[in-house]
Structure 1
Amino acid sequence: MLVPILWSSVAGQSPIESEVPFKNRWKIHSREDTMKIEWAPLNIPLDRRLQTFFTAFFTYTIFWLPIISTFCTPFLLYYSGFYLRTFLLIYFVYIYWDYKKHFGIMEGNGWLVALFRKNPSYRDYFPVELVKTAELPPDRNYILSCFPHGLLGMGICVNMGMDIPKWLKLFPQVRPKIATLDHHFKTPFLREVIRLWGMVSVCKESLVYLLNKSNDPKHEDNQDGFTSNAVAILVGGAQEAMDSHPGQYVLTLRNRKGFVKMAIRTGSSIVPTFSFGEVDIYDQVENPPNSKLRRFQNAVKKLTGVSPIIPKGRGIFNYSFGILPYRGRIVQVVGAPIDVVQSDEPDSAYVDEIHGKVIEALEKIFEDYKDKYIQNSHRTKLVIQ
């Protein structure tokens, strides 16, 4: 998870909510121009207003709830009365007990998501699309290695966590699950929201449980019609998010092999996915390697596992500043599964072999689809570090 600590203004967006190509937004402006606020016009259609509202609800929840949860809890403990303190202490014991028992595992897809499952507002805001390139037979479980992270991983959040009928139509009987940071499931209040959203912990115990589930349609766990679990992991994590800037596809993958080992231990196929446009819905304050800001971000990430970022976006009623993402097409291309031979003790040479196949598959997806989904694709390169 990423924590926003500030946001700054971005001028140059069209009054018709990002009908202008994304790269035209990031221009050099005079100081006088950057001080101007570009307000959204009043005559925007209701459906677009609703798209903005629902996207804002999700975005502000993801950005601010971790901060509120972290700082409100000690505040309440210190200033509240006896009954509230007692309730909180009981709640903390429950969190500890529940985590030790379930390790952040959430069965099903989460009832909160079900409330919005037939609401396409999240998807249509950008819009977000899903492209199938191969079958995912529901007779096995899958790890989806998802790239790039961007700032929020909005592509997989929409396709696999919110408006999922498109996913279910393309991949019937395959239950989509999104894995997020383990410490979210130990954070008061935040854990309740992400559990209701159907997310699961990326910790070893949680993944082993989900990826070892039976694929037998008659098994009691599969009475809801799903016989397969597809767990999406944003492999690049916070490190990759810090490299996210419009038009730059920089993947953190060379030394990330844990997901490959997990796939081999559980016999799960690896499905590489690539979300074109993910890096274009936000910019962030410049943080080149070895800059003071990057050194600060790395230090915080090393201590907490969380990377503080400074996003540049828009607001609900303006196009000049805020943390709401810009409208920009996101296309998640789901590649062909890479099958593995199950082994409780993965051989390092075999891990490297499968890891190499994942890199090759991502490079192929990028080359095959970049001309279709990236503007000025001849100037855009894929960097895997």
Structure 2
Amino acid sequence: MADSYWSSETIKSSDGTESVVSKLPRKNSFLEDTIAVLTLLSWFGWVWLGPWLLLGILFAAIFWASKLAITTLVVVITLTFLPAGNIWWAYRSLPLWDVWRRYFSMRLVTPPKDKFLEPHGHYLLAEFPHTVYPMGSWLGLPLCGQKGTGLPQNLRGGIASIMFQLPIVKHNYAWAGCMPAEYKLMLAHLRQPGASLSVIPEGIAGIFLAEDLQDEVIFLSKRKGFVRLAIQAGADLVPVYHMGQSQLLTFWGAEKLSRRWRASIGIFWGAWGLPLPRKRPIISLVGAPIKVKQEDHPSQEQIERVHAEFVASIKLLFDRHKHLLGPEWAEKELRIV
């Protein structure tokens, strides 16, 4: 990312607060953009069509005794039980990540360099919005620990546990550094020396708030479990907001059923009506950490106090930097429900 993230400048907001902003990355070549489109379309297309293809294969295996279908099912079942593995650093270093980030003209905003997050610090990054797919969170994970980004090194991403029950999908996430967003697992990880974690507190609820054309809307007022997690682990809480992420995909589905099953039940689309994210810019805002005092059994009052501070911080983070995406975004408000 030498051309995108190591080259940055310091800017001041209207209230005089300084931030470090990575400069606009170079444009992809035609070949690079083609690769970005094909790989993104393949990934999201598999999510789109995969369940129907598996049903078709199952039908062919049972009713037609198709050898190809039976073999495919055996492979899928085998991959399902194959351990997801751990971070694969070679995977996180693939040039394809750069191609994707340039496709979305992704930029990074952090506090001033003297207030960068410590490389081996102890943080819980709470990232918003969830939207149909948290592209900013996904593309930002491999940047952690890279010189000049201001992001911690030993950071894992907590994602829905159901993702670790799906073949191929679970390996992809594990190689990138993700882990199941199960409270005990996340707490155990955060209690390791120098460990950090990123979570997306909205969960399924955030999918149904995406793509409000007037304002940005996030589900945060009742989400307090991540605050309890930070306090119990003694991890400083870092607000993160990915501007532009809400405009990439549109979702239509059954909200109540999705919440009950803890998985998105519905259909989504983007560019040209396909399962392809729209080519819109993303700016990832990383705020200053909120100091947290460790408590094994935090009181509700303590949780409420830290939560209120977090809400104020993420709203201020958004208001200070929303103009970076242009006049249209400068008029947007961040609504918290």
Gaps of 5+ in 1: 1-43, 99-103, 216-228, 286-292, 315-319
Alignment partner, residue 232 of structure 1: 198
Superposed displacement of residue 371, structure 1:
1.9
CA offsets 1:268-293 (integer angstroms, 9 cap, x no match): 111100111111222345xxxxxxx6
Equivalent residue letter for 1:157: W
Query: In the alignment, is residue 275 of structure 1 matched against residue 236 of structure 2?
Result: no
Counterparts of 1:309 and 1:88, CA distance in 2: 23
Map 1:11-160; keep pairs closer than 5 Å.
Answer: 45-61=30-46, 63-64=48-49, 67=51, 71=55, 94=81, 107-109=86-88, 111-114=90-93, 116-117=94-95, 119-133=97-111, 134-160=115-141
Which residue number in structure 1 is paired with residue 320 of structure 2?
368
Shift of 1:235: 1.2
* TM-score between both structures, scaled by the size of structure 2: 0.77
Work out whether 1:341 is the aligned partner of 2:298: no
Change (3 A) 1:119 1:377: closer
Relative to structure 1, is the Cα distance of residues 73 and 188 closer, same or farther in structure 2, using a 3 angstrom cutoff? farther
Cα distance change, pair 70–249 in 1 and its aligned pair in 2 (3 A) = farther
Partner of 1:310, secondary structure, is strand
Residue in 2 aligned with 1:249? 216
CA contact (8 A) 1:179 1:201 kept: yes
Partners of 2:210 and 2:223 in 1: CA distance: 18
Residue 154 of structure 1 deviates from its aligned partner by: 0.7
The one of 171, 174, 190 equivalent to 1:195 is 174
1:85-124 superposed Cα distances (whole Å, 9 cap, x missing partner): 88887776x56xx6xxxxx7x643555333x256511001
Partner of 1:289: none
Cα–Cα, structure 1 residues 86 and 333, in superposed 2: closer, same or farther, change >3 Å?
closer
In the aligned structure 1, how far is the partner of 2:296 from the partner of 2:260?
Answer: 31
Q: 1:211 to 1:61 in 2, by over 3 A?
A: farther
Deviations 1:234-260 (A, max 9, x none): 111221111111533110011111111
Using a 3 Å threshold, how does the CA distance of structure 1 residues 300 and 87 change in structure 2: closer, same or farther? same
Counterpart residue identity of residue 326, structure 1 = R
Aligned-pair identity in percent equals 18
Contact (CA 8 Å) 1:261, 1:346: kept in 2 or not? yes
Rounded to whole Å, the distance in 2 between the matches of 1:69 and 1:143 is 38
- The Cα offsets for residues 287-315 of structure 1, whole Å up to 9 and x where unpaired, read as xxxxxx6xxx123213311122432312x
Q: Which amino acid aligns with 2:176?
A: W
Deviation at 1:378, TM superposition (A): 5.2
Q: Which amino acid aligns with 1:47?
A: E
- Compared with structure 1, are the counterparts of its residues 341 and 111 closer, same or farther at alpha carbon in structure 2 (3 Å cutoff)? same
Name the amino acid aligned to 1:382.
L
* Alpha-carbon distance change, 384 to 88 in structure 1, aligned in 2, over 3 angstroms: closer
Code of the aligned partner of 1:283 = T
- With over 3 angstroms needed to count, the CA separation of the structure-2 counterparts of 1:64 and 1:375, relative to structure 1, is farther
- In 1: Cα distance, 2:260 partner to 2:54 partner: 15
Q: Provide the C-alpha distance between the structure 2 equivalents of 1:261 and 1:73, rounded to a whole number of angstroms.
A: 44
Looking at structure 1, the residues matched to 297 and 57 of structure 2 have their Cα atoms a distance apart, in angstroms, of 42
For residue 270 of structure 2, what is the aligned residue in structure 1?
A: 313
Q: CA deviation at 1:139?
A: 4.2
State which of 298, 303, 306 in structure 1 corresponds to 2:255: 298
Amino acid at match of 1:52: V
CA distance in 1, matches of 2:266, 2:137: 20
What's the secondary structure of 2:314's corresponding residue? Answer: helix
Aligned to 1:24: none
Write the deviation string for residues 137-189 of structure 1: whole angstroms up to 9, x where unpaired.
2343211111111211111111114xx27855323652332211012223344
Q: Quickly say closer, same or farther: Cα 1:165–1:378, change in 2 above 3 A.
A: closer
Q: Is the 8 A contact 1:123 1:158 kept in 2?
A: yes
Amino acid across the alignment from 1:256: R
1:122 is aligned with what amino acid?
W
Instruction: Give 1:211 deviation, angstroms.
Output: 0.7
Partner of 1:226: none
Shift of the 279–351 alpha-carbon distance from structure 1 to 2, 3 Å rule, reads same
Q: Aligned partners of 1:87, 1:310: CA distance in 2, in Å?
A: 27
If asked which structure has higher relative contact order (CA below 8 Å, sep 6+), I would say 1
Match of 1:29 in 2: none
Q: Deviations over 1:181-236 (max 9, x none)?
A: 01222334432332233321111132122211123xxxxxxxxxxxxx33221111
Cα distance change, pair 284–86 in 1 and its aligned pair in 2 (3 A) = closer
Note if contact 2:126-2:238 (Cα within 8 Å) is conserved in structure 1.
yes
Alpha-carbon contact 1:125-1:327 (below 8 Å) kept: yes
